[in-house]
Amino acid sequence: MNPLASSLPDFPWDTLADARALAVSHPDGLVDLSVGTPVDPTPQVAQAALQAAADAPGYPATWGTPELRRAIINYLAIRWQAAGLDDAGVLPVLGTKELVALLPTLLGLGAGDTVVIPATGYPTYDVGARIARAQVVATDDPAEAASLRPKLIWINSPANPHGRILSVVQTRAWVAAARAAGALLASDECYGEFGWEAEPVSVLHPAVNDGSHERLLAVHSLSKRSNVAGYRAGFVAGDPRVVAELLEVRKHAGMILPAPIQAAMTALLGDTAHVEQQRARYLRRRALLRPALEAAGYRIEFSEGSLYLWCTRGEDGRASVRHLAGLGILVAPGDFYGEAGRQFVRVALTATDEQIEAASDRLHAAALQ
């Protein structure tokens, strides 16, 4: 058997088969709130740019077109107040899950190196370290992280699964810890456009990094921001020396974003109207779903941002999954995201208005029984 494959955990979604079957059996059908897959239309600005660039007979540049690099820099400067970025500090990638999974390998990490990941977080942080044969430690304490002398530290704000948003002070603490340890700090900011109860901040903001991008990377995705998960469009920005290393390896490996996707990214990064429209959609869905879950006996924790509600009834999360599946609602158990999440479930807002309304109605009805 492939030793790499055997070193990876079981694919978590496979464990939901029984809960899915129960939810599907509901008389009014399944409402799937278990995954964070966008369901709303891809903006016309992206579709038009994709079509206009469809005649692409030559190989695109791994580094991206000059227009795309400029669009990334402008977006980060205007939206996230990143100062001092130039072409050397930005790089498009084939969706950010690929980058998260391969970053330790692309950086040359291996056995004997340590990667720090959030105590409750996106499973691919752990998988990426395992692929590289690195040691993984999960902690939310910057001081503890620094004491481990890791090579790479991941933070995520707004966070998947629980929606916590790190403040400027908290983010500064992570930057200081990484620099004290000589580690690279990779900040997953893919849900940055969706801060509901607090304003997210990027590690590229001068108030966080004191005007230096040294040992810092910000990871961004257009999947949720722009409803283009199927395009696999993302980028990384920060320390130009680290970006140059990533670019060199990626050129040799042929890790190139298709030219039409680069054109679509350029158009999307220059447009804010579709982002505001999508924010409004998710806010409406959140306003329906949160009180419905609370009426049904769930306590919402964190959930200050991102596209999820982090819920508990003070029981094992798998029991909560079964309870909701009995209402025809499928959610993700918190143990997908680490031991600290075992008593929670993650409920996604990424469903149609009609599905969210149906889930809300079922939860309110259950609360009356």
The domains found in the chain, sorted by start residue, are 3-41+274-368 (3.90.1150.10), 55-271 (3.40.640.10)
- Tell me the residue length of the chain: 369
Return the amino acid letter for 307.
L
Q: In what order do the strands lie in the sheet with 152-156?
A: 90-93, 234-238, 216-221, 184-188, 152-156, 114-117, 135-138
Residue pLDDT, tens place only, 293-345 = 999 999 999 999 999 999 999 999 999 999 999 999 999 999 999 999 999 99
pLDDT of residue 55 exceeding 80, the answer is yes
pLDDT of residue 1 exceeding 80, the answer is no
Mean model confidence pLDDT for the chain: 95
The span from the CA of 238 to the CA of 155, in Å, is: 15
pLDDT in the model for residue 213: 97
pLDDT in the model for residue 252: 95
Beta strands per DSSP E along 61-196: 90-93, 114-117, 135-138, 152-156, 184-188
Residue pLDDT, tens place only, 75-121 = 999 999 999 999 999 999 999 999 999 999 999 999 999 999 999 99
pLDDT of residue 32 exceeding 80, the answer is yes
Q: For residue 155, what are the β-bridge partners?
A: 187
pLDDT in the model for residue 368: 83
Residue in the structure block whose two tokens are 């990638």 = 93
Give counts: helices (H), strands (E), the chain.
Answer: 15, 13
The reported pTM is 0.95
Contact 314, 327 (CB under 8 A): no
- Tell me the three state secondary structure of residue 286: helix
The span from the CA of 56 to the CA of 262, in Å, is: 11
Q: For residue 333, what are the β-bridge partners?
A: 345
pLDDT in the model for residue 3: 64
Q: Calculate mean pLDDT across residues 126-150.
A: 97
DSSP per position, 313-332: -SS-HHHHHHHHHTTTEE-E
For residue 201, give both structure tokens. 């901040």
DSSP per position, 170-215: HHHHHHHHHHHHT-EEEEE-TTTT-BSSS----TTSHHHHTT--TT
Q: Is the peptide bond between 158 and the residue preceding it cis, with omega within 30 degrees of 0?
A: yes
User: Directed axis angle between helix 273-295 and helix 353-368, to 10°?
Assistant: 10
The span from the CA of 257 to the CA of 221, in Å, is: 13
pLDDT of residue 191 exceeding 70, the answer is yes
Percent pLDDT > 70 in the chain is 97
